Amino acid sequence: MNSKSYAAQSAAAALAPLDIPRREPGASDVEIEILYCGVCHSDLHQARNEWRNTVYPCVPGHEIVGRVARTGPGVTKFQAGDLAAVGCMVDSCRSCANCEAGQEQYCLSFPTFTYNSEDKRLGGHTYGGYSTDIVVDEAFVLRVPEGMDLAAAAPLLCAGITTYSPLRHWKVGPGQKVGVVGLGGLGHMGVKFARAFGAHVVLFTTSPRKIEDGLRLGAHEVVVSTDGNAMAEHRSSFDFILDAVSAQHDIDAYLNLLNLDGTLTLVGAPEHPLPVSAFNLILPRRNFAGSAIGGIAETQEMLDFCAAHGIGSDIELISIQQINEAWERLLRQDVRYRFVIDMASLK
């Protein structure tokens, strides 16, 4: 069957309408009518081939919320009419040690991503959520709790789980001092989660204009990172720092803020390597780590947590016809804090 989508035909091309193939639902498949799709910065990176691995045509989108249209005869978790979601993965090998541990995002054979991965069912490559519908094996489909704002829930499928997973893994909670570096699509979710987990939250931003917003989102303190004196006041005092910045920045400045056995975890993806002083790690026994998205079970846990605590992404709703303009605004950091496409505009 064919679906309507918006796709990039080359690295220099604007997104434009394109009919794409979708498989008919197999025994364990769920067909989802897409209602909302979040816009991630990685969509732009991928479509413009900035990671040098893009296959065209490229249909981005991995923050998908919709309604089940059809199910295969073997599906047990979903039925037509259910609210459902799809994140960054649509499959994995399911048999390696990581997959068996519920860490499909770290599949040793590499997960099948929602777009720009080999499509092992239909052939060719996978197409993402800038489209009217998608067909996914039920093992990689998530349940959207009733009562959630569906548009604000869409970015949780990437920005949400990318920040939730490391905070959970490093057991952030009451009595801890936690820093979040950068107030963007990832950082604003990191602030919300760290506050909800009971930590004392300090936001670091280069922009004094974001102080008020940081406090509104849940930070107890906001530090302008270009202020050397303000940074020095927090030296060797943090248990955990979540670094959500994808631009080049001084990682040593934040490692200096960790206490003994403190951890800085990178979830942003700077284009070039970040220099790190060995002694900044060795002498105070600090940890410098990275983290990706969560597995399917943890992503479901995150959605349930958000529903229980009234957490959603701060969004700007757009039509699919506004996507190229939205990407240009994304490059200028002119969004607070996530664009979400109303996919009804594609029908």
pLDDT of residue 268: 94
Q: What is the DSSP string of 128-165?
A: -SSBSEEEEEGGG-EEPPTT--HHHHGGGGTHHHHHHH
Per residue in 14-34, pLDDT (tens digit) is 999 999 999 999 999 999 999
The pLDDT of residue 143 is above 90 = yes
How would residue 173 be classed by pLDDT, with cut points 50, 70 and 90?
very high
Across 314-321, average pLDDT = 98
Which residue(s) pair with 65 in the sheet?
Answer: 36, 85
Distance (Å) of CA 121 to CA 18, 26, 117, 125, 325: 21, 10, 11, 10, 34
d(CA 95, CA 178): 36
The pLDDT of residue 1 is above 90 = no
pLDDT of residue 270: 87
Residue type, 66: G
Across 92-119, average pLDDT = 98
User: By the 8 A CB rule, do 296 and 102 touch?
Assistant: yes
Q: Which domains does the chain have, with CATH numbers?
A: 2-158+312-346 (3.90.180.10), 160-290 (3.40.50.720)
pLDDT of residue 271: 81
Mutual angle of helices 159-169 and 296-309, in 10-degree steps: 100
pLDDT of residue 146: 93
Per residue in 189-238, pLDDT (tens digit) is 999 999 999 999 999 999 999 999 999 999 999 999 999 999 999 999 99
pLDDT of residue 216: 98
User: By the 8 A CB rule, do 2 and 21 touch?
Assistant: yes
How would residue 293 be classed by pLDDT, with cut points 50, 70 and 90?
very high
Per residue in 113-141, pLDDT (tens digit) is 999 999 999 999 999 999 999 999 999 99
d(CA 335, CA 41): 11
Q: What is the DSSP string of 20-36?
A: EE-PPP-TTEEEEEEEE
Per residue in 40-86, pLDDT (tens digit) is 999 999 999 998 999 999 999 999 999 999 999 999 999 999 999 99
Query: Which two tokens mark 311?
Result: 């957490």
pTM for the whole structure: 0.96
Across 264-284, average pLDDT = 93
User: Do strands 221-224 and 238-243 pair parallel, antiparallel, or not at all (unpaired)?
Assistant: unpaired
Residue type, 208: P
How would residue 272 be classed by pLDDT, with cut points 50, 70 and 90?
confident
How would residue 347 be classed by pLDDT, with cut points 50, 70 and 90?
confident
Per residue in 178-190, pLDDT (tens digit) is 999 999 999 999 9
Helix, strand, or coil here: 317?
Answer: strand
